[in-house]
Structure 1
């Protein structure tokens, strides 16, 4: 099939008790019919609200069940057909990301996207005919740009990223766990959740300071009427990133400061759509699931917002990132007959074992038990050697020569690109002056809209009389006045857009300066630690 854009929906929660105690007001409004979101800057009566349009907008009284049915259901259904899919939440700490992804058990309508996806997949498996399934799960964490296996024997062990032409980017030695039911999926996820890096911040006492990716790997073998097997493989990534707010909002210092800078670097790379290019290598959060951002995957981004005016800057930043993410285009396709499908290996192994059993049953009855045992050992040894060679070849094939760029190089590249973009915006601002053209146009129309004249013969000019009736003069006058009014209204609209653009440039300059200070502070902290 052709390309499709990343699907983006936004959701904002009610004001919480802390925000009510601070006397915060609602800064967000939505138009669900047009899927538009408006954010109003506090204490700024003359500044118009900023407007954004998405694939779906959900406010306080709309449930997670509705979000899943309208936005996530088609994506998960595609995974059961052999497509890859990714669902991830985005937003500041405490905006409702975990509530959207994990949910609560009561009321049932607010159960999260993840448990609903589990149920959806296993219901599809139960309804499938003439099809065998293998379902495996993995769970990893990206903490300070280091990858850990949350389900491994040693959760503190650092995993390396590798790249291969077929499976793409993957975490080497990441453990896979076979699951047979929704309950087993939930048990596996709960075990990994307890191993996540959690630290208290000013935004949320249970704030997760890491990104996590829970993946469901689905392999299907369908047998057609002719008895031929057809293999397909789908994968569902469920991403729960850390908060996107700046350090000044979290009160981060020391190690927390270093974490927060890494988080913002990852999330900035994740949704940076200035040139419709995603800088994957800037961050492991973008490099690991890079197929989700411009590759062979259907992707859904759920941007979560706090409606409080005290969180205006964070909410505006989230809306901007979400708006940029819409420009990323993927090319999803069905993964048919994958070369490294584990289900195929299992089927071949079953065939070999059946052949061994058949050959053992065909041995003459007069063959002694000792010779039969020796033959079995020989067959078993040969089988194990061949299996070991296959596994070694498979591991060697997955190795890649791709190397990670150094963190400082990625940080410097990100800083230079943002500085360059800001200089371009500033220079273009100095060059644009559309109002001068409109003033000249206004003067020309003022002259043109005056009464028609001709030479009087004495060097002067006098109004034309007699050739045009009064009614025709009035109609000409009315049409000119109407056109002047229409042009005037157009001028007001252009001036309003110009004002909004100037405000946007000012906001972007302020945001850039804040991020620049954060990066410089983190760099200084890292240098001091290494010294």
Structure 2
């Protein structure tokens, strides 16, 4: 297809083919964002069909992306590389992770300014902006240009899959200016993602490859529990504050709704069930094709819109005659470029586009700022509904989710101000407090057990009547699962109603069978009652533990207020507004109050409740093992 070949050549020329790093967003499959402007409107009018994302076009651009990756070694890099290792315990104590990812310098940047950079990395967690004045930042991880997609996935993507498998909502979104590597980080070479171990594969295909591997392993381990998984995916973009369905281009301007059960969702958004990573890759490619068509017809490219790929993961299993239901929502977000808009030449649609991007990202920044202030004890309104993006992602920002923010930055001096802005945004995001909980439907557990107990009691009552001879007619169908079949009706002989010896033996045998069934019913009733009691005790202990955690938070806030008051008094003493004696007197009172707070906290120690809860679980496990051993010995004898 000569037109595609010409297009690829033009794109190579536009973005600097020589020594261009694949870490840049500009060279990944979905980040060739300015193609219509590059080729000119006349070319679009003459060849509208060629802009659709045909398979050959995708392969062409993907192969070009790989060529670019191989050519990155030509650009000399003088920066030091820092090793980092994944921390398996991080998500036990945190609900928000902030990562900085630095892309390599491009060939055009090197030709203009050499290898000079506006940032200096000091460790795998610390980075300094070298402008005036210098600013030093600390994050959970700083990934330099030498960090591969695979290593980043081990730190950011792999734990996210484990969180989803455990029933936690999870979100990963990439933030940064256009060309900083957001789309390369999130998607990378998605066509190559269909081949295992593709070097340029982004977080999204890697996440789903690992997810379906984990699902299969879990199914193999828990065969006895009849474990079942379903995964449904949707793909949307937010452009000019309108939501478009990328899996169904005919659905435009979709509306966000809020429901007590479903939470926040997009009405009439198409969901596709997937069973493998390959299915997900096909949806990503389909969405990419629809975005390219939209770029031709509506004159906007991927950098001018936010994209959100969502997967709902549901699992069901059976345990002790009770069905459990667990679900998790996974959001993978590629945000629009955060750079300042140059309004001097913006007109019409471009001006409207820039305004809406600024509104959306400004609202995101305001939401994060207010969430940080709330975590510091202030009472503020969080304007989630001021933007479609923040409304849709409100669970991921200060809500029920574990969230990873990857802030992509350019090290170039020409992007110095944008890099500083991104670092400040990421620094604020570090202080967001999410409240992630396991999404498991346990409301039906107690009800199911009580219903089963009632059925067993009815069964016991009927069996008692049979043993005592008060029930003559027996519904064989209703007892077929628990009572052996009757040997047949008893026959009377003679006028005096005496039984024949054979009939008497049959009746005795039948009575013994009923007694055995009765004993079994009693045993099942006791087991269910014990399980119900254990579940109730565990639920009460969990509620008590939650209350104690809330009390501890309040205690910490009170101690923090004591400290702030002490700092203010010291400032007053330093300025001469308060005497040292008055300060010491008030400080003594504050310490006495703090001692009382700590004493109360010790009295309601969470560890005691946690150990009590673990004790209940261990007792229940011992009871089950003892019963199992009894059955084994019984059958052995």
TM-score, normalised via structure 2 length: 0.49
Q: Which 4+ runs in 1 deviate beyond 6 A?
A: none
Q: Distance in 1 between matches of 2:247 and 2:443?
A: 26
1:33-48 matches, within 5 Å, as 33=124, 35-41=125-131, 47-48=132-133
- Which of 204, 212, 229 is equivalent to 2:307? 212
- Which of 412, 437, 447 is equivalent to 1:333? 437
- Which of 89, 97, 100 is equivalent to 2:174? 89
1:189-204 matches, within 5 Å, as 189-196=284-291
- Which of 81, 101, 107 is equivalent to 2:186? 101
1:263-295 residue CA offsets vs partner (Å, 9 max, x unmatched): 122122223333325421221111101100011
1:447-491 residue CA offsets vs partner (Å, 9 max, x unmatched): xxxxxxxxxxxxxxxxxxxxxxxxxxxxxxxxxxxxxxxxxxxxx
What is the Cα-based RMSD across aligned positions, in Å?
A: 2.7
Q: Distance in 1 between matches of 2:335 and 2:442?
A: 29
Shift of 1:189: 1.5
Shift of 1:228: 2.6
Matched, 1:282 2:372: no
- Which of 226, 236, 248 is equivalent to 1:140? 236
1:80-479 matches, within 5 Å, as 80-104=165-189, 105=192, 108-128=198-218, 129-130=222-223, 131-152=227-248, 154-155=250-251, 157-196=252-291, 207-224=302-319, 226-248=320-342, 252-272=346-366, 273-275=368-370, 276=372, 278-337=382-441
* Higher alpha-carbon deviation: 326-335 or 3-12: 3-12
Residues 233 and 312, structure 2, Cα contact 8 Å, conserved in 1:
yes
**Taking structure 1 as reference, are residues 326 and 171 closer, same or farther at Cα in structure 2, changes over 3 Å only?**
same
Structure with the bigger percentage of helix: 2
TM-score, normalised via structure 1 length: 0.59
Residues 232 and 335, structure 1, Cα contact 8 Å, conserved in 2:
yes
**Taking structure 1 as reference, are residues 285 and 109 closer, same or farther at Cα in structure 2, changes over 3 Å only?**
same
SS class of match (1:159):
coil
SS class of match (2:411):
coil
- List alignment gaps of at least 5 residues for structure 1: 42-46, 341-433, 441-531
1:225-251 residue CA offsets vs partner (Å, 9 max, x unmatched): x24321101111000111001111996
SS class of match (2:215):
helix
Shift of 1:339: 8.8
- List alignment gaps of at least 5 residues for structure 2: 1-90, 375-381, 445-570, 577-637
Give the equivalent residue in structure 1 for 2:155: 70
1:109-166 residue CA offsets vs partner (Å, 9 max, x unmatched): 44210011111110011101231011111111111001111112614x2111111122
Q: Distance in 2 between matches of 1:288 and 1:339?
A: 27
SS class of match (1:141):
strand
**Taking structure 1 as reference, are residues 339 and 211 closer, same or farther at Cα in structure 2, changes over 3 Å only?**
farther
**Taking structure 1 as reference, are residues 299 and 196 closer, same or farther at Cα in structure 2, changes over 3 Å only?**
same
Residues 95 and 401, structure 2, Cα contact 8 Å, conserved in 1:
no
1:194-220 residue CA offsets vs partner (Å, 9 max, x unmatched): 2226769xxxx9652110110011110
